[in-house]
Amino acid sequence: MASALENYVNNVRTKSSEGNFRIMVEQLNDSVEVLSRYWELLDNVLETLDFQQHSLGVLYVLLVKFNGASSPNVNANLPQMFNLYKEFISQCNGEQVRYATYTYYDLCHMFTSLIVEHPLCIQGIKVVAQAIEKIRLCDSQQTSIHADLCQISLKARCFKTALSFLDVDITTIATTSEVRGQNSNDANNDAKYFLLYYYYGGMIYTAVKNFDRALYFFEVCISTPAAAMSHIMLEAYKKFVLVSLILHGKVLPIPKSSGPVISRFMKPLAQAYHDLGNAYATSTNEELRIVMNKCSETFIRDKNMGLVKQVVTSLYKKNIQRLTKTFLTLSLSDVASRAQLNDAAEAEKYIFNMIKSGEIYASINKKDGMVVFKDDPEKYNSPEMFLKVQKDMAETMDLIRQINKMEEEILLNPIYVKKALGSQEDELTSQHAKSFSGDPTD
């Protein structure tokens, strides 16, 4: 019975030493079924293979092993699996596993789903981060493992590692569909992990209160071209509404670049959130609270209640900010009544905190119980401001260079050239025809 496994080991060894990885992957794909029949014996197989020299062989064994472990009737030894994966990721040969990228991704996804509910979760962050570093071709390439990293980080509530990945803007995406091609399911998976990355990433940024970036991530998620609505997009849209209320005080329109299906179906499916936005627009806390209580079941089910509460607090701040535009001085009790706060002390506290966070510029005069609102004291003449401008310009210049580079790549892409030339010819002929038909002398 073990002869099949022996065969497998021998095959992996000879092929690895010959360096015939492409053919080897084809054979390995076929041997998955054989391997899964001998699930209990896979540990022995692993002992005979070297993680570095026979990375591909080990990869497939691990895949089968993790696949088996996810079925409920098997009692898997989780810490052992964890260590196996960790060892494999740190030792495997990046060149070799790139011949079977999709299998590598699959293994990572399985690992994630295995440990995500487990206390070991936080220790998985480093391993998964290493897995990404091993397979990606450059820092700005997105792989489908990025979504796994974000998911684990969210579950473990530890964002530092994930943020170092999220802070890098993505310029290329590693897809698996072109490799496996024939299986249309995988193309969907690519899209799924792409959307998940932006959804989870947005959630992480929201958690650390970097709302600006969070909004951008949700926006990418909902403006991804699509022919049908994905559940991930819907959830991202709900959070998009909430975050844009907190950040801008209004619901930003759905970006024009999103698919027509999305803009048509998104709104009716997130009605509670739009009601909230409308109530926010009236600037009355009373109404906002009514909507919050009325739809609280939806918000709690969507696990967005915390964000909704932040929206409610932000309205008080928005109202105070609005006062600064109309008044130069105002008594604290007037501020309280106009912003619908309980009393002058509460208003003082809000103003004090808002001055701290730089949301308004004001001075409180306790002697007379007045607040003096001021303009932004920034004169744009300090060295700090100069440094900031300089940094922003450097960033913008880098972006422009990046865009130029990408445009150049597209211009040199043979498929694009063919298409562009083809349509140009079409245009030429049609213009020709028109000028003839519209010729008045005819």
For binding to other proteins (CB under 8 A), which residues are involved?
119, 122-123, 125-126, 156-161, 207-209, 351-353, 355-356, 362-368, 372, 382-384, 386, 390, 393, 397
Q: How far apart are CA 47 and CA 282, in angstroms?
A: 68
What are the tokens at 383?
A: 């060295």
Instruction: Give, rounded to a whole angstrom, the gap between the first and last alpha carbons of the chain.
Output: 87
Identify which of residues 232 and 341 has a Cβ nearer to other proteins in the complex: 341
Cα-Cα-Cα-Cα dihedral sign, residues 422, 426, 429, 435: negative
Q: How far apart are CA 277 and CA 269, in angstroms?
A: 14
Q: How far apart are CA 410 and CA 87, in angstroms?
A: 40
Identify which of residues 158 and 420 has a Cβ nearer to other proteins in the complex: 158
Are the CB atoms for 221 and 236 separated by under 8 Å? yes
Identify which of residues 325 and 367 has a Cβ nearer to other proteins in the complex: 367
CB of 108 to other proteins, least distance (A): 17
Q: How far apart are CA 274 and CA 242, in angstroms?
A: 9
CB of 151 to other proteins, least distance (A): 15
Identify which of residues 158 and 261 has a Cβ nearer to other proteins in the complex: 158
CB of 363 to other proteins, least distance (A): 5
DSSP letter (8 states) at residue 137: S
Could you give the 3-state DSSP secondary structure of residue 130?
A: helix
CB of 394 to other proteins, least distance (A): 9
CB of 383 to other proteins, least distance (A): 5
Query: Which residue is associated with the tokens 């696990």?
Result: 303
CB of 329 to other proteins, least distance (A): 11
CB of 122 to other proteins, least distance (A): 7
Amino acid at 157: R
Torsion of CA 73, 77, 81, 87, to 10 degrees: -160
Identify which of residues 256 and 356 has a Cβ nearer to other proteins in the complex: 356
Could you give the 3-state DSSP secondary structure of residue 330?
A: strand
What are the tokens at 226?
A: 């699509």
Identify which of residues 154 and 191 has a Cβ nearer to other proteins in the complex: 154
CB of 351 to other proteins, least distance (A): 7
Are the CB atoms for 338 and 349 separated by under 8 Å? no
Are the CB atoms for 393 and 354 separated by under 8 Å? no
Identify which of residues 117 and 384 has a Cβ nearer to other proteins in the complex: 384
Helices (H), 282-343: 285-294, 296-301, 305-326, 332-338
Q: How far apart are CA 128 and CA 110, in angstroms?
A: 12
Identify which of residues 126 and 338 has a Cβ nearer to other proteins in the complex: 126
Closest CA to 273 of 247, 253, 248, 245: 245
CB of 132 to other proteins, least distance (A): 15
Are the CB atoms for 356 and 400 separated by under 8 Å? no
Identify which of residues 4 and 158 has a Cβ nearer to other proteins in the complex: 158
